[in-house]
Structure 1
């Protein structure tokens, strides 16, 4: 139940945030999640995190601050939406890791999907808007990609620790920047690019430190 609520929070907060925050920057802020997974795997999963990994996590937080930079265009209440999404997704990944040794990926994702459907169906009448055919096809594609992604994520957590896996998802930031440029004609400014680079490098540093152990 808690895992399903975390996933709903992740989706709703991030999707809503995209109404106000550009795709690349919102994705970069959302990538606090892997850093949170690394940090929170210590108290929640009793895993060891090295000093180098802690430094990388700290660098990642600095990278997010560079992207958001107080006083900049993104420093608005709307930035709390992708930040909240990151927090929810971090806990989702930790719960996925805990359940991976108990349930199979198929069972875990099936139960999460059922709970998500029930909760969202209860909310649907309050926000319903009839989609067009094109929007319907987009939603089917989105659901299919999401299902495959979550199944692969659950399977990955069966074979490796969260601190090891988390950094590999940083490629999403690059694709977000590319799609933001191609589809929405948005290019991050120099500060955002520096912050995004710091976030990506911090993730790679976490992975490198994990392999050294």
Structure 2
């Protein structure tokens, strides 16, 4: 049996991450207006701990170490901040717009990966970044669309998500994906417990399925993303996040009747072509 190449594995894990992130977005939208972001993140992380415990019981506790505690702490402070901004953004903007603005995060992540991780850019990756950035500009149209509070929040969120990707990549060189995700839910349960104590609201039964879905997809999204980053460079993986836009745009149309804009479709096509060029370049390089 021929085993899959690291690039193929990275692409497969990234597709799992993108699907999970899309479902998680719907869960957040359903809870927005009924529950504060801090409370969502606390409950999601607490459920995540319960889900992961059986996996750790089967011989996984040896992976949990305190050697890189500072790195985990830095990653989760950055990530928790980005998630809070992301949830606020989902409540203020259409899903496709949220995703479009969020897609500036791979640009930040790629730049930070080159500066701090010593990764190299190649022609395929430059193409993905260039066309990805162009696609976002086509969708956002700076100077032609009002820069609202939601847009500013999502631009800040994108920077924190980009930095999270780089911190995750740094940790994958030292820790397993299970350890990284477990430390995430533990630390963010603590962060969320403290923050949500100021805004806590009673829970309702109809929120339960969405909270469970939020917790499960939160785990599968970050586990899949971590496995993808462990298999390939961040400068290759992070531009693939641009593919989330057409997925979320379709979800927004089907579930919330958010109409497709021509410029959104054009931008999505430009973004996809950049990702396709990058993947083709990487797979040809591996074959050679």
Do they superpose with TM above 0.5? yes
- Give 1:174 deviation, angstroms: 2.2
1:40 partnered with 2:40: no
Structure 2 unaligned regions, length at least 5: 1-72
Higher CA-based Rg:
2
- Give 1:51 deviation, angstroms: 4.6
Where does 1:77-116 land on structure 2 (aligned, <5 Å)?
A: 77-116=149-188
1:14 partnered with 2:95: no
| 1:56/1:165 CA distance change after superposition, 3 Å | closer
1:93-120 residue CA offsets vs partner (Å, 9 max, x unmatched): 1111111121111111111211111111
Supply the RMSD in Å over aligned alpha carbons: 2.0
- Give 1:199 deviation, angstroms: 2.5
1:63-89 residue CA offsets vs partner (Å, 9 max, x unmatched): 222211134455323212222222111
Match of 1:185 in 2: 257
1:37-81 residue CA offsets vs partner (Å, 9 max, x unmatched): 333221111111025533442332222222111344553232122
1:16-45 residue CA offsets vs partner (Å, 9 max, x unmatched): 111221001211221222233333221111
Q: TM-score, normalised by structure 1?
A: 0.89
Where does 1:117-128 land on structure 2 (aligned, <5 Å)?
A: 117-128=189-200
Match of 1:23 in 2: 95
1:59 partnered with 2:166: no
Contact 2:124–2:279 (CA<8 Å) still a contact in 1? no
Structure 1 unaligned regions, length at least 5: none
Farther off after superposition, 120-129 or 165-174: 165-174
- Give 1:204 deviation, angstroms: 2.9
Q: TM-score, normalised by structure 2?
A: 0.68
1:160 partnered with 2:232: yes
